[in-house]
Amino acid sequence: MYSLKELYKIGNGPSSSHTMGPKKAALYFLDKYPDCDKYIVYLYGSLALTGKGHLTDYIISKTIPNVEIIFDYKTEVKHPNTLIIEGYKNGLIIGKNTFYSIGGGNIKIEGKQEKIKKEIYKENSFYQIKEYLKLHNLNLVEYVNAHESIDSYLNNVLEVMQKALKEGLSKSGILPGKLKVKRKSKDIYFSNAITKLPYDKDLRKIMAYAYAVSEENASGGEVVTSPTCGACGVLPAVIMYFKEKYNTSIKEEIDGLKVAGIIGNIVSYNASISGAYAGCQAEVGTATSMAASYAAYILKGDILAIERAAEIALEHNLGLTCDPVEGYVQIPCIERNAMGALRAIDAAILATYLNAKEAKISFDTVVSTMLETGISLPRSLKETSEGGLAKNYKEDENA
């Protein structure tokens, strides 16, 4: 598996696959063909169908000068996030590349021998990691430390997460786009509404934090892919909750990010973290699983409790579809991040009560099931805005 830097990327929202990936493709092409007097970018699949709401055209036109962007809704493509860039000089085409935006801001270039990304970790499954830990008498944090020096990078990741959370909580108003969705994090945080639940205040804060980061993402703010932009609110909400509740130190937070990063890495390597490829189970499902492992680690869970928490969290997101209304990373995405953060903590608590040694389903089994489920989901429910809530949404239903 690759460095955790490949998983936790710092960039601008609202979508790692629809803004960060295409921006990377555009920069690659510009670098290769800097002298063109005209560029044409063709967007296919999910990039065409949800590109406007996800600001794909905005980020491309900001990156490439003299660019024409064509949304091709009809041509069938083999990867759901395909874009082709052509470069012209004096009316003649001088360069052309096909790119696939594969999730988490990563791209593949057709016909190009993939730059062999260095595999930092030889173990590619939770089972293999457990065996390694047993053999070398290590815990998960020590396992990461033995493979890469990443503390200062993760410290930066933490800072960006916390900044996005604070920024989001400080703002009111309407999010960009035609849905006119109101920012709600501040309202939730300061709400006077009281339920009879004794832990009401805790839940309210966790939700407000997830809203805050997701609202920053939806408005193009700087966030961390954890594992994607669309799902970037879950993990920071859980981190902030533990910071306030248990006064976690920066070292504990960095170590918790390592644990959560290994979980995200296993999903990314063996399945997918792309909503267009496997639905929202791959994005918010994975984020919930990562955050559950973080919570289990902070609650002093051992390797089996961490695995169980991550497994429970992902298992109960299986089948989760991706149906963003009008293509914006707002409905159902923002609320879903809040639910993911709550479920992450629930999963860690449940894992604490259960005897992890008696688990019948491993984390690896859930990951492969998630991939199979994702492949089986219809295209309409994989970030095309052709099905689900995106299809049934009525603008003035609750006006």
Count of Cβ atoms closer than 10 Å to residue 251 Cβ: 11
Name the residue nearer to ligand SF4 (CB basis): 308 or 336: 336
215 binds ligand SF4 (CB under 6 A): no
Applying CB under 6 A, among 7, 107, 322, 345 the residue interacting with ligand SF4 is 322
329 binds ligand SF4 (CB under 6 A): yes
Cα-Cα-Cα-Cα dihedral of 325, 327, 331, 336, to 10°? 120
Name the residue nearer to ligand SF4 (CB basis): 51 or 332: 332
Count of Cβ atoms closer than 10 Å to residue 24 Cβ: 18
Output the DSSP codes for 65-118: SSEEEEE-SSS--SSSSEEEEEEEETTEEEEEEEEEEEETTEEEETTSPPP---
Residue with tokens 């803004």: 19
Contacts of 185 (CB under 8 A, 6+ apart): 168, 169, 171, 208, 209, 211, 212, 215
What would the two tokens of residue 102 be? 């594969």
CB 329 within 8 A of CB 335: no
285 binds ligand SF4 (CB under 6 A): no
Site string for ligand SF4, 24-63 (x = CB under 6 A): ----------------------------------------
Applying CB under 6 A, among 4, 69, 231, 338 the residue interacting with ligand SF4 is 231
230 binds ligand SF4 (CB under 6 A): yes
Amino acid at 292: A
283 binds ligand SF4 (CB under 6 A): yes
**Least Cβ distance, residue 83 to ligand SF4 (angstroms):** 17
CA distance 1 to 264: 11
**Least Cβ distance, residue 172 to ligand SF4 (angstroms):** 23
397 exposure class (CB count in 10 Å sphere: 0-12, 13-18, 19+): exposed
Q: Which stretch binds ligand SF4 (CB under 6 A): 28-36, 262-270, 279-287, 309-317?
A: 279-287
What would the two tokens of residue 268 be? 């990314």
**Least Cβ distance, residue 272 to ligand SF4 (angstroms):** 11
User: What residues between 330 and 369 interact with ligand SF4 by CB under 6 A?
Assistant: 332-333, 336
CA distance 279 to 310: 18
**Least Cβ distance, residue 323 to ligand SF4 (angstroms):** 6
| H or E element, residue 285 | helix 284-298
Q: Which stretch binds ligand SF4 (CB under 6 A): 83-91, 121-129, 156-164, 280-288?
A: 280-288
Name the residue nearer to ligand SF4 (CB basis): 50 or 63: 50
Name the residue nearer to ligand SF4 (CB basis): 24 or 382: 382
Q: Give Rg (Cα) of the chain.
A: 21
Contacts of 244 (CB under 8 A, 6+ apart): 205
Name the residue nearer to ligand SF4 (CB basis): 312 or 377: 377
Applying CB under 6 A, among 275, 301, 340, 374 the residue interacting with ligand SF4 is 275
Applying CB under 6 A, among 64, 140, 284, 295 the residue interacting with ligand SF4 is 284
How big is the site for ligand SF4, counted in residues (CB under 6 A)? 13
393 exposure class (CB count in 10 Å sphere: 0-12, 13-18, 19+): middle
CB 57 within 8 A of CB 39: no
**Least Cβ distance, residue 383 to ligand SF4 (angstroms):** 5
324 binds ligand SF4 (CB under 6 A): yes
Footprint of ligand SF4 (CB under 6 A): 230-231, 275, 280, 283-284, 322, 324, 329, 332-333, 336, 383
